[in-house]
């Protein structure tokens, strides 16, 4: 059975491919029929006839719905869908990607613990870790995972967790996930992987030995730039229960309507991701040939330092790339101001292409030294491709580059 299949319910017992599972999420069955789409339970609470049932519902993530901060049938359908797609034992839907990351870190780490973090991860995650370090005494070490033995060398007696990104934001670094997870497990660490840029279509980190996967569902999973959400998926049901028990008190819970919108988007994920990847690859090749582009950062390019690793572990190279131009911030302002089809915007994963200047926006909280460590310069631009025709996208970038 391949990693994209699981036992199905077809009469012949054939396994169902992820492309099939993604359009058949679990729905509530009522009598002899069931709804064709997951219903939206836009309610804050549920009423009971039996106190014993009410009490049971209050205390576990898989019980009857009682209060939508604790659980809700629509939110539960999203959680079951994501757990299935990632191959997990359970999932927690959150109000945002950072809500999911906060739920995992706050739910599992304590004052004085030590965490290993892949170099070059999302700026919001680094800002959170810096805050936990300053105010709560969490100790953080950023590890260069392209050097063999880096994890083993950085482990201390108080180390509890390894934090990775499948495809790092924004420079596209790809670590050897199976090797990193194995090193973490040998040291007794939990491995947490942000799989936002890859999605379960390109990679399922739990299959490579990770313990927890987090997502900003705002991005590719929802896919239409109209919802903010996050999720964490757990390999171990006890770990799921532990984080859920704390997350509901932090108030990171997903809204039912956001869950409903995300489920709608998930249905087409396996159709959208190949187009995102194709557009990114075509733009990367053309940008690399342009005289005003100094360097392109995309794991799909043969000269990328992680090309072989990405080709071995991912089902595609993703829809995000970065490139460097000379002239710093002023050149970036000229470029982004001249783009007509492509939008200057803070997020990604929707149907249209966006660009962003990481040094002044998504990674603005990093120090100059941290930006250099991540490879982000004043002339670095991130592109998140949408679903447009690639030639139209290139013409827009070409005319904008020509104005610098």
Tens digit of pLDDT at every position of the chain (404 positions): 344 655 444 445 677 898 888 887 655 555 667 788 899 999 999 999 999 999 988 888 888 899 999 999 999 999 999 999 999 999 999 999 999 999 999 999 999 999 999 998 999 999 999 999 999 999 999 999 888 799 999 999 999 999 999 999 999 999 999 999 999 999 999 999 999 999 999 999 999 999 999 999 999 999 999 999 999 999 999 999 999 999 999 998 999 999 999 999 999 999 999 999 999 999 999 999 999 999 999 999 999 999 999 999 999 999 999 999 999 999 999 999 999 999 999 999 999 999 999 999 989 888 898 888 888 999 999 999 999 999 999 999 999 999 99
Spatial contact of 116 and 151, defined as CB atoms under 8 Å apart: yes
Distance CA 67, CA 40 (A): 15
Q: Render the burial of 265-289: b for 16+ CB within 10 Å, e for the rest.
A: bbbebbebbebbbbbbbbbbebbee
The model's pTM is: 0.94
Q: What are the start-end ranges of the H helices in 251-325? A: 256-266, 269-288, 307-313
| Annotated catalytic residue 69 | yes
For residue 11, what pLDDT is reported? Answer: 45
Catalytic residue selected from 69, 80, 286, 294? 69
- Per-residue model confidence (pLDDT) at position 26: 53
Radius of gyration from C-alpha coordinates of the chain: 21
Which pLDDT does position 107 carry in this prediction? 96
Q: Tell me the two tokens of residue 298.
A: 């995309």
State how far the Cα of 41 lies from the Cα of 317, in Å rounded to an integer. 37
83: exposed, middle or buried (Cβ count in 10 Å: 0-12, 13-18, 19+)? buried
34 has catalytic annotation = no
Q: Is 110 labeled as catalytic in the residue annotation?
A: no
> What pairs with residue 161 in β-bridges?
115, 190
Predicted local confidence at residue 91, as pLDDT: 97
Answer for the pair 273, 316: CB distance below 8 angstroms, yes or no: yes
Q: Strand 16-17 to strand 5-6: parallel, antiparallel, or no bridges (unpaired)?
A: antiparallel
Q: Phi and psi for 230 in degrees, rounded to 5?
A: -150, 170
* Tokens encoding 111: 């004052």
Specify the pLDDT at position 63.
Answer: 85
Q: 122, 163, 220, 298: which is the annotated catalytic residue?
A: 122
219 is catalytic: yes
3-state secondary structure at position 207: helix
Burial of 85 (0-12, 13-18, 19+ CB in 10 A): buried
Q: Catalytic pick from 194, 211, 255, 324?
A: 194
Helix ranges, 31-174 (H): 51-58, 73-86, 97-108, 123-136, 150-154
- pLDDT number for residue 385: 98
Structure-token pair, residue 33: 């029929």
Beta carbons of 325 and 335 less than 8 angstroms apart: yes
Cα–Cα distance measured from residue 162 to residue 398, given in angstroms and rounded to the nearest whole number: 40
- Rounded Cα distance between 344 and 334, Å, is 12
pLDDT of residue 370: 86
pLDDT of residue 382: 97
């Amino acid at each position: 059975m391949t990693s994209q299949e699981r036992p199905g319910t077809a009469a012949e017992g054939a396994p169902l491919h992820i492309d099939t599972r993604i359009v058949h999420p679990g729905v509530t069955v009522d009598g002899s029929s069931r709804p064709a789409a997951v219903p939206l339970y836009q309610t804050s609470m549920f009423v009971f006839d039996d106190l014993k049932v009410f009490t049971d519902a209050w205390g576990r993530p898989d019980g009857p719905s009682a209060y939508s901060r604790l659980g809700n049938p629509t939110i539960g359908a999203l959680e079951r869908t994501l757990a299935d797609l990632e191959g997990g034992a359970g999932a927690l839907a959150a109000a945002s990607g950072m809500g999911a990351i906060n739920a995992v870190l706050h739910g599992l780490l304590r004052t004085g613990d030590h965490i290993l973090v892949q170099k070059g991860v999302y700026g919001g995650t680094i800002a959170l870790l810096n805050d936990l370090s300053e105010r709560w005494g969490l100790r953080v070490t950023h590890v260069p995972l392209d050097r063999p033995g880096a994890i083993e060398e950085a482990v201390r007696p108080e180390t509890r967790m390894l934090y990775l990104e499948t495809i790092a934001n924004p420079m596209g670094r790809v670590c050897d996930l199976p090797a990193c997870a194995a090193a973490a497990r040998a040291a007794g660490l939990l491995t947490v992987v942000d799989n936002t840029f890859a999605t379960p279509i390109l990679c399922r980190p739990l299959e490579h030995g990770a313990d927890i996967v987090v997502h900003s569902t705002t991005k590719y999973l929802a896919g239409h730039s109209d919802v903010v959400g996050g999720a964490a998926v757990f390999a171990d049901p006890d770990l799921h229960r532990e984080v859920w028990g704390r997350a509901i008190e932090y108030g990171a819970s997903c809204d039912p309507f956001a869950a409903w919108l995300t489920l709608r988007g998930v249905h087409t994920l396996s159709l959208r991701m190949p187009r995102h990847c194709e557009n990114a690859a075509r733009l990367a090749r053309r940008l690399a040939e342009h005289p005003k582009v100094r360097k392109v950062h995309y794991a799909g390019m043969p000269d990328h330092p992680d090309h072989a690793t990405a080709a071995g572990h991912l089902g595609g190279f993703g829809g995000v790339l970065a490139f460097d131009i000379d002239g710093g911030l002023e050149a970036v302002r000229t470029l982004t101001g001249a783009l007509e089809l492509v939008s200057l915007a803070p997020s990604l994963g929707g149907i249209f292409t966006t660009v962003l200047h990481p040094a002044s926006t998504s990674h603005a909280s990093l120090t100059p030294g941290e930006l250099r460590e991540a490879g982000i310069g004043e002339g670095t631009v991130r592109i998140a491709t949408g679903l447009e025709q690639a030639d139209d996208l290139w013409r827009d970038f070409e005319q904008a580059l020509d104005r610098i």
